[in-house]
Structure formats: structure tokens, C-alpha cells
Chains A and B, each alone.
Chain A
Amino acid sequence: MVAKKSIKLLVVFVLALTSFTAFAQDDTVENNLIDSPEEIRAYIAHHLKDSHDFHLYTNNKTGVHYGFSLPVIVWTNDGLKTFMSSAFQHDDNGTVIVEKDETKLVKYHSKIYELENNATSLNLDEAAHPTNAKRVIDFSITKSVFGMIFTGLIMLLAFGGLARGYKKGKTIPKGFSRVLEPLVIYVRDEIARPNIGEKKYRKFMGFLLTVFFFIWILNMLGLTPFGFNVTGQIAVTACLAIFTMVIYLVSGTKDFWAHTLWMPGVPYILRPILAVIELVGFILIKPFSLLLRLFANITAGHFIVMSLIALMVTLKASFGPVVSTGMSLVLALFIMFIEILVAFLQAFIFTMLSSLFIGMAVEEHDEH
């Protein structure tokens, strides 16, 4: 009952946040077809980026896009501006200019730019960088943000349900909770406990469990045809890695700092050098490896799956439609299975390494 009500609430929330619209585009019908390798490359690159509306399907015959627009919230020179992304009319080349009290905004390659005062259209240099506009700070509810909120709600529903089951006095969970419980136990017993230690692991469970399921669900969401690419956004993985860094730096013990900054048992001349190496390791290299690993794996996964699906189009000329479609299907299916594994694996690795780094920081050393 409670779950049903929550799902209803979720639907209402989604509808309130966005309005489901089908909007026609001015572009000619032929332009919507994606045939050539260049167009496919551009399409994939476009997909890998965050987007400001939720695009589900485009009817190439009529040129109508199905999907819904999402709120755009940007910080410009003139202050905060909010409007729905439908104002850009599905344009991504900087041609549609949205005017909000003197501020002219354009969307170019999934990023929103603010035109200079006297400019009437977006000018580009040879490297295709805008010359007469600057990027705004974009707090929009983009597709990624939408995905994250959605994931958060799913997590709250699922694990809140599990928690409520316990509260009712049932010690053995029922239904879907029965699947979730071993996962929670897995994270606790296989990731947190061995790496952080029996005494201190409890304090970090909130972060580790949240991050594990957050990354996993977002990775899996990325494999659905909705085409989320949240964990393939470098800002997202950077944020996750910085959370881990802040946690292990804040909870570092006296021992940890002593060993990092003034390593005992090493000649005095070497100690400052070691301190620099250790500090760089903990502040830069470790978070960087975390953020890049997740980002690169997920991006590469999306890239490969989409490229293999695109084989259907690119190989049609040389092998005919049946063979190219078959090949694309088999290969994409194969990679999809691997990607499902990778989705779990990357969540696991991120959580594992986070707990390992936290474990290093909270470790109590015996006297040498």
C-alpha cells in the first residue's frame, strides 16, 4: 500500500516537474536521419553529454520529438534565470536565442551560453568554440540531475521499504526486500568491514552504502533505452570522488597524519619528500583515479554499445540490411551483458577503493 502510494507520488512529482510534450521542429525531415559515420559520431558524442530535455523518440517522418522538457536554471551576469528547456525548441547549435530580461541565452553542444550584450547571433572560431558568448553556471535540472533525483527516490522507496519491514518486527524481510538485504550485507561484510576494520566501519556505512547503490542504479539506468549517462559525466564522478576524499581526510587519525607527513623509520632527509608524495597521493592521485575510472568505464561502455548499434547503419551498404542488423544485434547483446557486469563492477570498485582509502586513514598503527 505504502509503496503504491509512493509510486503515485513519484509520478505526480515527475509530471509537476516537467510537462510531457511533443514538439515539432523546424528542421527539414531529411536532416533528422542519421546515416553517415560523421553524423553517427556526432550523435554518440551528443548522447554522451548531459542534455537539457528528456528525449525519448523522434518521428523522422513528421519531425516530431517525443519526450519532455526539463527546467533550466542558470546563473548569468544578470542573476538567476529560470525557464523550461522547451524554449530552445530542441536546438543545440546556438541558433535559437532565448531572451530573458536583456539576457540572451543560446544552447550550443548541450551547454548554455550567454551572448554578449550587442551580439545578435552566436559566432564560432575555427575550433568551433563560441567567441562572443560565455558559459553560464548551469544549475538546470538536466537529464543527469533528473536521473539522480529519480535514483534517490528509487533508493528511498526500496530501502525505506526494507527498513520499514524490520520496524514492523519482522526479522526476515519479504518480497523485493529479500533481494536487497543480502546486497546490504554484502557491502557491509565484504567491502566495509575488511577494509575499514571492525571497530570503525559503522560510521562510514551511510556513505558507502549510498554511494554503492547510487552508482550501481545509475549505471544500470544508463543501460536502459532512456539513455541516461549520469556516471559518465565527469562532474558527477568528480563529486563522488571528492566526497570520498573529504571523508578520509576529515576522519584521518593522528597516526595517519604522522605517517603521511613525517614517516617514522625513514632517514630524515627523505621524510619531506615522502610527505609530498603521500600528500599528492591522497589529495590528487587517489581521488583522480576514482573519478576517472568510473567516468572512463561508463563512457566507454556507452560508446561501444552505441557504436555497435550503429554498425547496423554503417555496414548496411557492404553487407546488406539483414547481416548488418544481425551482427549489430549479436555484438551489442554481448557487450550489453558485459556492461551489466561492468555496471556492478564499477559500483563495487568505487565503494571498495573508497573504503580502502578510508581504512588507510582511520587505521591505528602499533608502535614500531
Chain B
Amino acid sequence: METLLNDFSVGLFFMQAVILLIIILLMRKFAWKPILDALQSREDGIQEALDAADSAKLEMQNLTASNEKLLQEARMERDSMLKEAREMKDQMITSAKDEAQVVANAMIEKAKDAIETEKVSAIAELKTQVASLSIEIAEKVVREELSNKDKQMKLVESMLGEATLN
């Protein structure tokens, strides 16, 4: 300890203090400040670039996501359009069918009516023919009867057999 104190030089201490102070001040002004500022600004720049890249990536993701969404929407729209078209087609077919049915029904009805009228007229004609035939027969019968009673009876019977209404 005594040698230590003996070796302690006040002058050297003073010189060291002065030199160190000068070095610190000079270095601060000419070296450390510009160096640290440059490093700081460079690191800030790097950080900014990284952030920008990150945000660009995020934007990209958003973009693809929105693209996907658009695509999805388009697909859905197409589907719904197709579905609508199908429905419309079905509807058109059914309505056409219905209409055709109605028309056909009307035609059938008309045909039925025509047949009925034909039938009625035919029956009426038949009735008149039958009536006129019966009158002829009756005339002939009446004439025969007047000559031969048996013959007349036979005639009537044979006539009747012929004139069976089918």
C-alpha cells in the first residue's frame, strides 16, 4: 500500500485527467456522435425496410384473400344464375305442357261433341228408317194378310227376324 501511494504521481494523474477529458470531448464531437448517429439512422432504415416488407406482405395476403373472395362470389353468382335458368326452363316446360293439355282437352271435347251430334243424327235417321221400314212391312203384311192368313203370319215372323235391331 505504501509503495502504491508512493508510486502515485499527482502530476501524471493531472495530465491523465486533462488528456482523457480532451480525448472524450474530441472523440464525442468528431467520432462517436457521427458514428452513433449514422448507425442509428442505418438501423432505423433497416427497421423501416423490414416493416415496409411486412406490411407489403400483409397487403399481398389481403389482396389474395380478396381475390379469393371475389372468385368465390363469382362462382356463387354463376351457380345461382344456372339454378335460376334451370328453374326458368322447368317452369317454361311445365307451362307449355299445361297449355298443350288445355288445348288438347278442348279439341277432345269438341270431337266428343261432334261425335255425339253425329250419333244423335244417326240414331234419328235410323229411327226414321226403322219407322219407314216398319211402315213398309206393315203395308206388305197388310197386303198379304188379305190373301193368306198363314202366309201373312209367316211373313211377319220372317220380317221381324230380318229386322232385328243390332
Contact = CB atoms under 8 A, between A and B. Distances in A.
A167 interface: yes
Q: Which of A74, A149, A151, A210 has the most CB of B within 10 A?
A: A210
A155 B22 CA distance: 12
B56 interface: no
B11 A202 contact: no
Q: Mostly helix, strand, loop or mixed at chain A's interface?
A: helix
B7 interface: yes
Contact of A238 (B8, B30, B34, B38): B8
A360 interface: no
Interface stretch (A12-20, A157-165, A331-339): A157-165
B131 interface: no
Given A163-B30, A206-B32, A214-B23, A145 B39 contact: no
A221 B23 CA distance: 17
Contacts of B9: 50, 111, 138, 233, 235
B159 interface: no
Contacts of B12: 50, 138, 142, 144-145, 233, 235-236
A210 B11 contact: no
B42 interface: yes
Interface in A126-141: 137-141
Nearest to B31: A159
A184 to B, nearest CB: 6
B19 A152 contact: yes
A214 B31 CA distance: 14
Contacts of B23: 148, 151-152, 155-156, 210, 214
Contact of B16 (A75, A205, A239): A239
A238 B12 CA distance: 10
Q: Mostly helix, strand, loop or mixed at chain B's interface?
A: helix
Given A149-B19, A235-B16, A167 B34 contact: yes
Contacts of A138: 9-12
Contacts of B52: none
By size class, the interface of chain B is 20 to 34
Contacts of A211: 20
Interface string B21-38: 011101110111111111
B43 to A, nearest CB: 9
Interface string A226-237: 000000011110
A43 interface: no
Contacts of B26: 152, 156
Contacts of A162: 31, 35
Contacts of A188: 36, 39
Nearest to A230: B16
Contact of A160 (B15, B16, B30, B39): B30
A207 interface: yes
A240 interface: yes
Interface in A28-80: 49-50, 74-75
Contacts of A207: 24
A129 B35 CA distance: 51
Across the A-B interface, the 8 shortest Cβ-Cβ residue pairs: A166-B38, A159-B31, A138-B11, A206-B28, A163-B34, A235-B13, A235-B12, A239-B16
Interface of B: 4, 7-17, 19-20, 22-24, 26-28, 30-39, 42, 45
13 contacts: A50-B12, A75-B11, A138-B9, A138-B12, A145-B19, A166-B38, A188-B39, A205-B32, A211-B20, A233-B9, A233-B12, A236-B12, A243-B17
